[in-house]
Amino acid sequence: MEKEEATSTESIPLLTPYTMKTFHLSHRVVLAPLSRLRSYNFTAQPHAILYYKQRTTKGGLLIGEASGISDTAQGLPNTPGIWKKEHVEAWRPIVDGVHENGGIIFCQLWHSGRVSNTCFQPNGRSPISSTNKPIQNQQFIGGSGDADSQYSPPHRLTIDEISNVINDFRTAARNAMEAGFDGVEIHGANGYLVDQFMKDQVNDRTDQYGGSLENRCRFPLEVVQAISEEIGCERVGMRLSPFANYNDSADSDPHSLGVFMAEALSQLRIAYCHVIQPRMVTQFERVETRDSLASMRKAFKGTFIVAGGYYDREEANRVIENGEADLVAFGRAFLANPDLPRRFRLNAPLNMYDRSTFYTDDPVVGYTDYPFLEDPV
């Protein structure tokens, strides 16, 4: 089996090795961050050990699911935190499991901002944001349809409060390192808090954190700087989705926003920039577009990861072959195919994902029961 798999890798760009700062990756198939809503009491659970281990290969890069950085960060039920000692302890065996199988795992640091409800907030307070404008588009994941499953109007952060949130990110990054993660990815995509500062259709501030592109990117870049100081820039990545409008978070000039961030992140010398393809205007549907990430790719000198809509091996191979990206992150394909790199190696068919079990609290069904390829006889 080993022999058969070893012989065919040369011609598969996705399966060629790649070095990202100090990390020696044996292939370019990355696990995208995937919230699975199975972390009871906002704490990672033992069943995640198997889930992540199943998706680990020697020298493969995994990005953990969005993990809340503070008690105001949550906006979905059963998502894990990384702000308390108990969270660190809960993550440790999961990270150890990945390391035992030779993988590399980053922790995605997340604050939902206004994509939340008072029921998730300490003392029932309002969620926080760059703005006090509520989300109009009420599409609550895992919501029951009652008042608790609507997004609550947010509180606009004051300048002092902004620096507290930056500190929360810093502490969460330190916690992630204590849990054994190899690095952290700042969640700056999909309309959550960091994105709510960047996008001009959300951020309506008139202070130094709003208005010009430079001002809107100030908070995201201060978060990156604080975390880099804490754990070293070579262990930091950032996820961006300048072209997306999920969670009512759109920008009137996504090209300029994307290039501005890519240049700034390049100067901060972080390990990677992870960008969602413009075709993913909504979270899960691909649309036709002429927009591309070429200018961001050019502006960022570190490792460039692309994600969004990759299921097909040939398409992802082409992206690597053409130099459009260094690595490709797979969300739904990896969710449904724990042995995705091996399937790519063998050009084997992929399991189809079951959307109805993306966000349940079942510790097995739709989580760790997707079948592996049978071993060839």
Ligand X SMILES: Cc1cc2nc3c(=O)[nH]c(=O)nc-3n(C[C@H](O)[C@H](O)[C@H](O)COP(=O)(O)O)c2cc1C
Closer to ligand X by Cβ: residue 34 or 259: 34
User: Footprint of ligand X on residues 50-109 (CB under 6 A)?
Assistant: 65-66, 108
Q: To the nearest whole angstrom, how small is the minimum distance from the Cβ of residue 283 to ligand X?
A: 6
Closer to ligand X by Cβ: residue 267 or 282: 282
Residue 51 appears among annotated catalytic residues: no
Q: Which of 20, 25, 28, 33 binds ligand X (CB under 6 A)?
A: 33
Closer to ligand X by Cβ: residue 52 or 330: 330
Residue 276 binds ligand X (CB under 6 A): yes
User: Footprint of ligand X on residues 232-261 (CB under 6 A)?
Assistant: 239
Q: With contacts defined by CB under 6 A, name the span among 31-39, 94-102, 153-161, 164-172 that binds ligand X.
A: 31-39
Residue 319 binds ligand X (CB under 6 A): no
Q: With contacts defined by CB under 6 A, name the span among 44-52, 187-195, 215-223, 316-324 that binds ligand X.
A: 187-195
Closer to ligand X by Cβ: residue 75 or 97: 75
**Catalytic position from the list 52, 192, 209, 272:** 192
**3-state secondary structure string, the chain?**
CHHHHHHCHHHCHHHCCEEECCEEECCCEEECCCCCCCCHHHCCCCHHHHHHHHCCCCCCEEEEEEEECCCCCCCCCCCCECCCHHHHHHHHHHHHHHHHCCCEEEEEEECCCCCCCHHHCHHHCCCEECCCCCCCCCCCCCCCCCHHHCCCCCEECCHHHHHHHHHHHHHHHHHHHHCCCCEEEEEECCCCHHHHHHCCCCCCCCCCCCCCHHHHCHHHHHHHHHHHHHHCHHHEEEEECCCCCHHHCCCCCHHHHHHHHHHHHHHCCCCEEEEECCCCCCCCCCCCCCCCCHHHHHHCCCEEEEECCCCCHHHHHHHHHCCCCCEEEECHHHHHCCCHHHHHHHCCCCCCCCHHHCCCCCCCCCCCCCCCCCCCC
Residue 316 binds ligand X (CB under 6 A): no
Q: With contacts defined by CB under 6 A, name the span among 130-138, 292-300, 308-316, 364-372 that binds ligand X.
A: 308-316
Closer to ligand X by Cβ: residue 66 or 224: 66
Residue 34 binds ligand X (CB under 6 A): yes
Q: With contacts defined by CB under 6 A, name the span among 18-26, 230-238, 312-320, 328-336 that binds ligand X.
A: 328-336
Catalytic residues: 192
Q: What residues make contact with ligand X under the rule CB under 6 A?
A: 32-35, 65-66, 108, 187, 189-190, 239, 276, 280, 307-310, 330-333, 358
